[in-house]
């Protein structure tokens, strides 16, 4: 088994918050040193996973992330995070030269304003994901 896959499975077992599928047009931006932009796959009160274009520079460790909802220009800024997983995704097309990675992040201590904004995003810009039993 690929080591990243094993780490990914352990991450699922540790979930404390219900996950939601992010709406189309929801993006995560790591920054400011990396300025990495990716499409949010799923999100919870505890963290999120997003897909991004693979390149040589892979962010790691602690940092900050912004959440952007394109639909109504919503921007939640400077969420403290810790990166908990990062792995290459299988190519959807064998002929494609585009490499995608997925990164999972855990949120750090949020301010009360960030918490209420995140609750707003979960309520208005997501759909529920059924967890495997």
Q: What is the pLDDT of residue 47?
A: 97
Tell whether 133 is covered by a domain: no
All residues at 6 or more sequence positions from 128 whose CB lies less than 8 Å from its CB, including other chains? 18, 20, 21
pLDDT confidence of 133, banded at 50, 70, 90? Answer: low
Question: What are 49's strand-pairing partners?
Answer: 42, 104
Q: Which two tokens stand for residue 18?
A: 């219900």
pLDDT band, residue 20 (cuts 50/70/90):
very high
Q: Would residue 53 count as lying in a domain? A: yes
Secondary structure of 43-85 as H, E, C letters = ECCCEEEEEEECCCCCCCCEEEEEEEEHHHCEEEEEEEEEEEE
The token pair at 125 is: 């810009």
Q: Residues 33-73: pLDDT tens digits?
A: 667 899 999 999 999 999 999 876 666 778 999 999 998 88
Q: Which domain holds residue 36?
A: 3-128
Measure the CA dihedral 44/21/48/19, to 10°: 40
Q: Is residue 109 a part of any domain in this protein? A: yes
Total number of domains constituting the chain = 1
Domain containing residue 94: CATH number: 2.40.10.220
The reply to whether 106 falls in a domain is yes
Side-chain-side CA neighbours of residue 57 (13 Å): 7
Express each pLDDT in 67-105 by its tens digit.
999 988 899 999 999 999 999 999 888 888 888 999 999
């Amino acid at each position: 088994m690929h080591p990243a896959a094993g780490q990914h499975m352990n991450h699922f077992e540790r979930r404390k918050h219900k996950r939601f599928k992010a709406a189309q047009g929801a993006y995560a931006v790591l920054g400011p040193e990396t300025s990495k932009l990716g499409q949010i796959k799923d999100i919870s009160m505890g963290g999120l996973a997003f897909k991004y274009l693979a390149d040589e520079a892979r962010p790691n460790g602690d940092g900050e992330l912004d959440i952007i909802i394109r639909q109504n220009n919503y921007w939640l800024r400077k969420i403290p995070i810790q990166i908990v997983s990062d792995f290459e995704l299988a190519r959807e097309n064998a002929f494609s030269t585009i490499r995608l990675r997925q990164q999972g992040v855990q949120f750090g201590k949020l301010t009360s304003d960030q918490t209420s904004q995140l609750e707003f995003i979960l309520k208005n810009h997501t759909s529920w994901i059924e967890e495997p039993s």
